[in-house]
Amino acid sequence: MTMMTSLPKVTDVSQAILWGLPSVAVLGLGRVGTVAAACLAGAGHRVHAVDPDPARVTTLNAGRSPVDEAGLYPLIEGSLRGNRLVASTSVADAVANSDLSLISLDLDASPDGTPDLEPLMALADAIGLGLRLRDEYHVVVMRTCVPPGTTLKMLIPRIEAVSGLSLGTDFGAAFVPAFQRPGFGVVDFNAPPKTVIGAIDSRSRNLVMRVFALAERTPTLTSIAVAEMIKHVEVVWHIPGTDDADHWMIMDGPVAADRLPERAGPGILPVLHPPEVDVTTAGYRRVQVADEDLPLLAAALAANQELEALRVAQLAMAWRPRRVGILGLPLNLGATACDSPVLTLIAELREAGVDVAVHTGDGGAIVPYAALATTLHHRSTAQRTLAFTLPRMVRPTAEEVVDASDVIVIAADCDAFRFAAAQEFEKPVIEALSLDVTGPSVPTALSRAAA
């Protein structure tokens, strides 16, 4: 789902003061970080730039740019004169005194061609120390191109471990990829070709928008996983070379037709998820890998389903319902159900103040509290609370859900669900079979009921 919003553009420092712009820590003074620090300080933000290289720090504090980019000098000079820009080597100090931090590291490649994430993990430790010194909410924003899944599966757990804080409760997270051409960094930062904001929850999203929606009045709002994927595809697309096959992600070989999703989520390429596939990408040999060895494809498929869940929530809320009924949440699958995009749909509706009634269609299986709590640990606050609130939403029959709801969502391929929804013909029905993680199979008990 792509949600759009519009905000007035800040054009001078007097407006910035009235708006009370967030203070920003820019972590990394490479090309992306230096441009961000200069442009944000020039727009009125108070910016604390950090780099482990003392030479870069000294250069910036002296009013010069550590990178060669047109248009940086007047921004840096004016910001230093206005006391809006300072540079140091202390990550903890910058994070502790800022509302939002931008991770803009230049990662080197490891011997196998993948990004070397050790500097990122070391930075996560330093961010964790800084968060321990800060009492107010802080949002950690990734801008570095990393493999999809890195932010929530590696960066955030490391920050939580060091800080002792919890994502979504004590601090927020987002991924805002940079789309900047070498030599045109300032131009592209102030007038980007697109602005993608992937955030863990609305609180993080709102704070990030106060920084990046000033340059782009209609940003694309999505999840962290999708934002990571968009940046990854963008990088692969633009890698120079003589043979496109050496740099594009190419998927060929055996393809099981019944494994392909019905549709791809908006904003990214169609996704294949075959059991065997030849994958070619920059820096890799052509090798045949198994299904479970394709984290990029798995992340894309999960991101597609999450976007679809958000789109369905938007469609349902268009009718301004007091309660939405959802038919199909396969809790009998245990931990697999905890990754169901239906949970994203429920959380989105609840966060918007809409009541939800659910029929699982699993014959009254017990809600897996422990699995839910563990799997949803790094999700938004609304999703984490489902581990405790979901049982109160569950209804024993599909008919009870239909009777009590204003809008019906069919999230599993089941004739009994369609039959129940058809009995209330005046109520809107949304058939969202792309949210079904079980495939076309129908639970036995429901098959008998339909018969």
Q: How confident is the model over 35-82, as pLDDT tens digits? A: 999 999 999 999 999 999 999 999 999 999 999 888 999 999 999 999
Distance CA 234, CA 262 (A): 24
What is the residue type of 162? V
Distance CA 19, CA 8 (A): 11
> pLDDT at position 325, please?
94
Is the Cβ–Cβ distance between 332 and 364 less than 8 Å?
no
> pLDDT at position 290, please?
36
H/E segment holding residue 298: helix 295-317
Distance CA 184, CA 80 (A): 22
Is the Cβ–Cβ distance between 50 and 88 less than 8 Å?
yes
> pLDDT at position 286, please?
31
Q: Which of these, 148, 132, 62, 137, lies nearest to 91 by C-alpha position?
A: 132
Tokens matching residue 440: 């076309």
What is the residue type of 197? I
Answer positive or negative: Cα dihedral of 128, 234, 23, 137: negative
pLDDT in tens, 314-344: 889 988 999 999 998 765 444 444 567 888 8
SS3 80: helix
First vs last C-alpha separation in the chain: 36
What is the DSSP-derived secondary structure letter of residue 154? I
Distance CA 3, CA 450 (A): 38
Cβ atoms within 10 Å of 63's Cβ, excluding its own: 14
> pLDDT at position 302, please?
61
What is the DSSP-derived secondary structure letter of residue 426? T
> pLDDT at position 20, please?
73
CB-based contacts of 288, cutoff 8 Å, min separation 6 = 253, 276, 277, 278
Q: Which of these, 243, 198, 240, lies nearest to 219 by C-alpha position?
A: 198
How do beta strands 220-222 and 250-252 pair?
Answer: unpaired
Backbone torsions φ then ψ of 217, nearest 5 degrees: -80, -15
> pLDDT at position 261, please?
33
Q: Report CA dihedral (7, 227, 309, 341) to the nearest 10 degrees.
A: -150
> pLDDT at position 278, please?
27
Distance CA 97, CA 434 (A): 44
> pLDDT at position 118, please?
92
List the chain residues with pLDDT less than 70: 1-19, 112-113, 213-217, 235-305, 330-339, 362-382, 434, 436-451
Partners of residue 394 on adjacent β-strands: 358
